Structure 1
Amino acid sequence: MTTKRHLAQVNIGRVLGGPDAPAMQDFYRNLARINQLAERMPGFVWRLQDETGDSAMSLSWPGDPTMNVNMSVWENDEALATFVFKTVHQNFYARKHEFFEMPEDPSVALWWVEIGHIPTVAEAKERLDHLIAHGATAFAFGWVDLPVAKLWRERRCA
């Protein structure tokens, strides 16, 4: 099957402490390892990085310099879902409330991009703002709106 588009994702969060905070040490100690794992995953295309090349932790969200941003592009939803939910990343995702403030509004947005397109942080903000204002649309949507999410629900019910 030939893919005509890739899946971009952005997630934002305000960390609950710096690298020296005892509650945050597990997060920071594993950040480079998780990012390297993503880059080795089948279907990985690109991820946002700061000048260190390890993460994007020094980059901030437009309009809120206290908010961290993470962005990546994947060949398809299965590739992204496999990384997020079927690798060691799932352990940190399940603990996100230990590391980040949990906002009421969505903090994750996904959208389809043309192959070769690398989204900007400004584009990601536009997508997430749209999701917050209008709910899931073709312009921006959340995890539950992915085609793979329907398959997961069907497998659980079978």
Structure 2
Amino acid sequence: MPHLALYTFGVMKSPLTDPGPLTREFYESGEAVYREIGRHPGYIAHAEAARHIQGVLFDADWGEWGEFVVPAWYGKGRSAETTALAATLSLWSGLRPAFDAIYTGLHRAALNRRYDWFERTGHPGYVLWWVTDGAIPTWQDGVSKLEHLHEYGSAPHAFTFHRSFAPGGTPTRLEDVETKSEVR
């Protein structure tokens, strides 16, 4: 059974190592969000660095998730002192569980505050795609899919919740997913 990959990317207003209250608040809420999402039905895994050091993303060891890369349009720093971005890469059992985890609970509350922390870039903030069971998406996969989504819009290999596709490439809607899962 295919799994759903989700890549998110945002440019922060301040570097990750900024000692100010907004950055501290972002980290504190992020830890609680990750704990809650990690317990959500349908969650499989997310990319984690072997050692978490605040502000270090580019030189971290991400294991099978691959080398950390960012979209070409990211123009801020890449050192621990200057990196100003947040990115996630995760695996889900399907569209509905991922949607529910993102748009409810603590993550929904964080989304409501996103413009306190993130710049408005004119680029999509996330992209979805299907991977075969057992496959681990890489950061490069996520960046390529996000850039494709920005350039061409939703397609079976790079889409959003609002213009989504089933694993076979057929357009689908969350309402269709909900109905199908209720039948089972």
Q: Same fold (TM over 0.5)?
A: yes
Mapped contact 2:11–2:121 kept (Cα < 8 A): no
1:156 corresponds in structure 2 to none
Equivalent residue runs for 1:79-118 within 5 Å: 79-118=97-136
Q: 1:129 maps to which residue?
A: 147
Cα offset for 1:149?
3.7
Shift in Å, 1:53: 5.5
Deviations 1:53-100 (A, max 9, x none): 699x63243354343321111001111111111221100011111111
**Residues 1:120 and 2:118 are matched in the alignment:** no
The answer to whether the Cα contact below 8 Å between 1:58 and 1:68 also exists between their aligned partners in 2 is no
Whichever structure has more strand as a proportion of its residues is 1
Q: How many correspondences in the alignment?
A: 148
Matched with 1:30 is 29
Deviation at 1:51, TM superposition (A): 2.7
**Aligned counterparts, 1:4-23, within 5 A:** 4-17=1-14, 18=16, 20-23=19-22
Q: CA deviation at 1:114?
A: 0.9
The two structures, once aligned, show a CA RMSD in angstroms of 2.3
Show CA shifts across 1:139-158 (max 9, x none).
10112113454469xxxxxx
The AA in structure 1 aligned to 2:39 is R
1:27 Cα deviation after fit: 1.4
Gaps of 5+ in 1: 153-158
What fraction of aligned residue pairs are identical, expressed as a percent? 22
Task: Write 1 or 2 for the structure with the bigger share of helix.
Answer: 1
Contact 2:96 2:174 in 1 (8 A): no
Asked if residue 58 in structure 1 is aligned to residue 56 in structure 2, the reply is yes
